[in-house]
Amino acid sequence: MRPSLSSVVVAVLTMVLAACSIPGTQTSSTGQAGPVDGVWRTDGYGWVIAVNGGHAQTFDTTELSCLPNNTADQLGQAAPDGTVQFGNKGVAVETLRRTADGHGLLRLLGTAADIDLLPLPALPDACTKTVPNDPLTVFDVFWATFKENYNSTVRKNIDWNAVRDKYRPMVTASTSPKELYKILVEMIKPLDDAHAYLEGPGGDSYAGKRAGTRDEDEVSRKDATTAVDQHLSQDLGVTNIQNFANNKISYADLPGGRGYLRLTAFESYGGDQNVFVDNSAILAKALDAIFTPARIKAWHELIVDVSFNTGGDDELGLQLASRLTNTAYLAYSKKARNDPNDPSRYGRLRPVTVTPFDGPRYTGPVRLLISDLTVSAGETFTEAMLARTPAPSLVGMNTQGVFADDMQRKLPNGWTFTLGNEDYIAANGHNYEDVGIPPTIPMPVFSTDQISQHSDPALDAP
């Protein structure tokens, strides 16, 4: 269970509230205003960011509430274009930049596109007030966050007002945390959405999944990778499987001039903080060891296996895709819901590009292994590969169907939850949210028999 807001957070909040008023008028500890000082509202996402004196405080807002969430400190001086890095313990997690028109841009490092910032004259009044953490308020904030941000109520034909009418009468001032948690879970179960996640009391947690698909409860990462490795060594005669990045990345040379590259996540590659800048450096080192000039010259085909990939940072998928092309191309575009009262309205479409890596690259045939266990950033990487030339063959099963960045929120009682608020549009114009990217060569993946017999027809397909 996550703790409730502590006195430390309240103290930080008090400091920020005292400092923030009108953008451009605040001063830092040196007596001069910073380049991004002020109060900002994101276009969509429901965030307000107050920046003053080298500190940034993010608030989660709804029409009912404003709750402090993340804090970050400025790292170094502004870049020549005015971009300022913010982070924790000296590691950058986001950047802010004021644009020529007085607006701004926010980039959460590891995501694939900027978020528009609109200046506010002062911190909203709601952000200066304590939000009660009673069961009814917790319910209302949870419901309102989905109502104002969720990307699929229209797509899934869900009447979110009817959801409130059904479940709110079940909540009273005396509802226990366990009971409230069960009610909130029942609300989001019908969404069948792997990005609809709730972490409640006593370490209890719930994450959805598309109907008819599997998750790590049905197929474990260890069982899946062990079965593949046994197939490589016992059936294909592989003598050296190289592992990198906390065993999240593996490589093997296969018979017949084929390479096999497996990534089971685009995160948690090493270190204690699991931040993008560290993961990116670890990924780059692994790819340097794999994509050698001699090996690239020898490959007749590269098999990239993301059939069990639990997601992570989109930028890491783009980093891999950059090793697989000689020309820049549109990977996909993304947009976020930006009208709290109209679930069909979105902000501007932001294109995302794959840019060739400045070093050894492979541009020959690629076989991409996918399944319902290909999730989130595993799917955006797959989507980025669709527009590659030559296009890869996709072998396996439909991916999970959740593309948006996890929008992470806190509730007044300290619980955390996530939801998706963005749509990703492939270069071919398709939106694969809720259905997943289909294979070009359908084939079962990680069935019980395949795991027990360490067989892998997707890998062996001609």
CA angle in degrees (0–180, nearest 5) for 454-458-460: 75
CA distance 57 to 66: 12
Q: What does the pLDDT look like over 234-252, one tens digit per residue? A: 999 999 999 999 999 999 9
11/391: higher pLDDT: 391
Select from 114, 40, 34, 37 the least CA-distant residue to 77: 34
Q: What does the pLDDT look like over 71-92, one tens digit per residue? A: 999 999 999 999 999 999 999 9
- Assess whether pLDDT exceeds 60 at residue 69: yes
pLDDT bracket for residue 7 (50, 70, 90)? very low
SS3 104: strand
- Assess whether pLDDT exceeds 50 at residue 21: no
Q: What is the CATH number of domain 221-326+361-401+436-460?
A: 3.90.226.10
Query: Computed from CA positions of residues 284, 233, 438, 399, in that sequence, does the dihedral angle turn out positive or negative?
Result: negative
Say what the pLDDT of residue 412 is.
Answer: 97
Pairing state between β 366-370 and 301-305: parallel
Q: Whole-prediction pTM value?
A: 0.92
Say what the pLDDT of residue 34 is.
Answer: 82
Say what the pLDDT of residue 16 is.
Answer: 38
Say what the pLDDT of residue 33 is.
Answer: 63
Average pLDDT of every residue of the chain: 93
Tell me the β-bridge partners of 393.
367
- Assess whether pLDDT exceeds 70 at residue 2: no
Say what the pLDDT of residue 32 is.
Answer: 59
- In angstroms, how far is CA 120 from the centroid of its own chain? 27
HEC-encoded secondary structure of 263-332: ECCECCCCCCCCCHHHHHHHHHHHHHHHCCHHHHHHCCEEEEECCCECCECHHHHHHHHHHHCCCCEEEE
Q: Which long-range contacts (CB under 8 A, 24 or more apart) does 358-361 make?
A: 359/288, 359/291, 359/323, 360/291, 360/292, 360/293, 360/296, 360/323, 361/291, 361/296, 361/322, 361/323, 361/324, 361/325, 361/326
> What share of the chain in percent tops pLDDT 90?
91
Considering the chain, tell me which residue range(s) the CATH 3.90.226.10 domain(s) occupy.
221-326+361-401+436-460
SS3 454: coil
Return phi, psi of residue 417, to 5°.
-155, 165
Say what the pLDDT of residue 127 is.
Answer: 97
Say what the pLDDT of residue 430 is.
Answer: 98
Tokens linked to 394: 């996709």
Class of domain 135-207: alpha beta
- Assess whether pLDDT exceeds 70 at residue 31: no
Q: What is the mean pLDDT of residues 45-61?
A: 97
HEC-encoded secondary structure of 191-242: HCCCCCEEECHHHCEEECCCCCCCCCCCCCHHHHHHHHHHHHHHHCCCCCCE
Say what the pLDDT of residue 272 is.
Answer: 72
Say what the pLDDT of residue 273 is.
Answer: 79
Say what the pLDDT of residue 461 is.
Answer: 86
Instruction: Name the amino acid, one letter, at 164.
Output: R
- Assess whether pLDDT exceeds 50 at residue 335: yes
Tokens linked to 27: 């001063």
CA distance 226 to 217: 16
**E-strand spans in 308-433?**
329-336, 350-354, 366-370, 393-396, 406-410, 416-420, 422-426
Q: What does the pLDDT look like over 122-179, one tens digit per residue? A: 999 999 999 999 999 999 999 999 999 999 999 999 999 999 999 999 999 999 999 9
Select from 46, 30, 27 the least CA-distant residue to 340: 46
Q: What does the pLDDT look like over 108-119, one tens digit per residue? A: 999 999 999 999
CA distance 383 to 367: 14
CA angle in degrees (0–180, nearest 5) for 156-160-161: 150
Would you give the end-to-end CA distance of the chain in angstroms? 49
Instruction: Decide which of 2.40.128, 3.40.50, 3.30.70, 2.30.30 is the CATH code for 7-128.
Output: 2.40.128
CA angle in degrees (0–180, nearest 5) for 45-51-53: 165
- Assess whether pLDDT exceeds 50 at residue 454: yes
Tokens linked to 31: 């007596």
Considering the chain, tell me which residue range(s) the CATH 3.30.750 domain(s) occupy.
135-207
Considering the chain, tell me which residue range(s) the CATH 2.40.128 domain(s) occupy.
7-128
Q: What does the pLDDT look like over 250-268, one tens digit per residue? A: 999 999 999 999 999 999 9
